[in-house]
Structure 1
Amino acid sequence: MASTKELLQMDLYGLLGVEGKATEKEIKKAYRQKALSCHPDKNPDNPKAAELFHQLSQALEVLTDAAARAAYDKVRAAKKQAEERNNRLDDKRKKIKLDLEARERQAEAETQKTEEFKITRTLEEEIARLREEGSRQLQEEQRLIREQIQKEREWRLNAQSTHADLPSAQQDKRKVTPKLKLKWKCKKDDDTNGGYSQEVLQGLLQKYGDILNIIISSKKKGSAVVEFSTVRAAELACKNESGLTGTPLKISWLEGQPVSAAPPGPDYSRTGVFTSSQTSLSSERDYESLVLMRMRQAAERQKLIEQMQREDEEEEVAKT
């Protein structure tokens, strides 16, 4: 545990990202989220991650113990009041204050104000007690984190093994970004294209997830292709979006329609381990996929344009 002086310089609430009035449940939740990302087992080559994990553990120890937290809050409140008083002083009074403090430091170098000494001493005693007794809550939280990290490792290995066993054609299919075909009724001489533009479609569909491309056909009105970054976003848009009231959308899959192949993730609800890391792990995979898709975005966009042109030409031929 850090020394009392070090703790006095740390903003324990800020370190955990919670308010000063946060409940114990909120403090534990914040600790879990931050400690998981910087756990030494997940960052073996990053010494700063280990240091941050240690500081988070110290913050949890103090803020989940009622007596230690009360003592820390008093020190924190005293510092805040002193800062507020200092901020209210004008330049002239600040100079007077600095001169006075210099004389006081010279005359009372070995003394402290009675109240400050008392609350600091109380915090020291509480920290000493925690050091002797150990923090049961901290040990329990760290045990849960270790269990979750192990489950995530097993899940990754299982997912990698399943992916390796898939036929090459199915693996190639999984690499295709999800694309939807949009159609709506529109007259040939309608300059507004039925009320749809790239901005309008972006506004309607972005609530379902990140959009990589929106291509509106330049040859045939009432037709567009939308490329999403994730299959889930495309699924939601396909199932739920109806478009503008006067000119509803007809949405169908063009590419990347999902196939159930991935193994289920670990069930955290049975063990009591918090489930926020499921989201973080999924987000990590989505981010990696998104980076790769961004690299191919220009080529995909050109491919979409060419594909739409071919489809429009085929439809024109079929009509004639």
Structure 2
Amino acid sequence: MSVLGVSSPADLFHQLSQALEVLTDAAARAAYDKICAAKKHAEERNNKLDAKRRKIKLDLEARERQAEAHSAEQFQNTRTLEEEIARLREEGSRQLQEEQRLIKEQIQRERETQLHHTGTSDYTSTDSAVGRHSKSNVTPKLKLKWKCSKEDDTNGGYSQDFIFSLLSKYGDVLNVLISSKKRGSAVVEFETVKAAELAYKNESGLTANPLKISWLEGRPEVITPVVSQVQQTTGQYFPPIQGALSSERDYESVVLMKMRQAAERQRLIEEMQREDEENAA
């Protein structure tokens, strides 16, 4: 049977002799104690390092969990914000569609009322006995103004596309001209007087930056039907004969009207350019 890992008594005796020499020799005993103390210090140092490593590891894990929680919170906030933006866009789109529907219904009712009055009234004029009339050779134009500083890159929230979509609900818009030098002003050209008049009466623009709308050209005038001497004597009114022009003359009139509209548009652009140059000077 082995003792202390020694297989024979001779080996055991040899080891015991070496241990006795170490214990009886002061220098050897001091060297042995120094080695043992060094091993003990090294073991304690390793234990302390292990404790620091464990603490650092725990701190890193806690920071990772905190960062993950913060990232999840940011993701949730971003998602909530995107959902709110989408909801506001959808709500704004519904409100715009509802507003366009109401405008179209109003226009349709006015057209039906106008047709009804035209068929039943004794007097026939542009709209009624007292009608609204605009010169046929001038397309209706409105001038828009709003607040805008020179440093504002968004032009006060009004772009060409935005103005076009904003006013198209009242009728066909032919052109939108925004001054590149004089900020906060634009000219809108409509196809019909009715569309321009509806925009002039009903549109106010953005709530934060409202529009100031004024007539530039083609403003409708109140006219009364001309009553001849025969009508004054007899008390009867003879409506004008419709459809007297042939198709060829109608076509020529349309072509001339389009040419006049193009000339007016070009003249308006040149006038705005001259006004911008004068303001820049």
What TM-score do the two structures reach when normalised by structure 1?
0.36
Higher relative contact order, structure no. (Cα contacts within 8 Å, ≥ 6 residues apart): 2
Larger Rg computed on CA atoms: 2
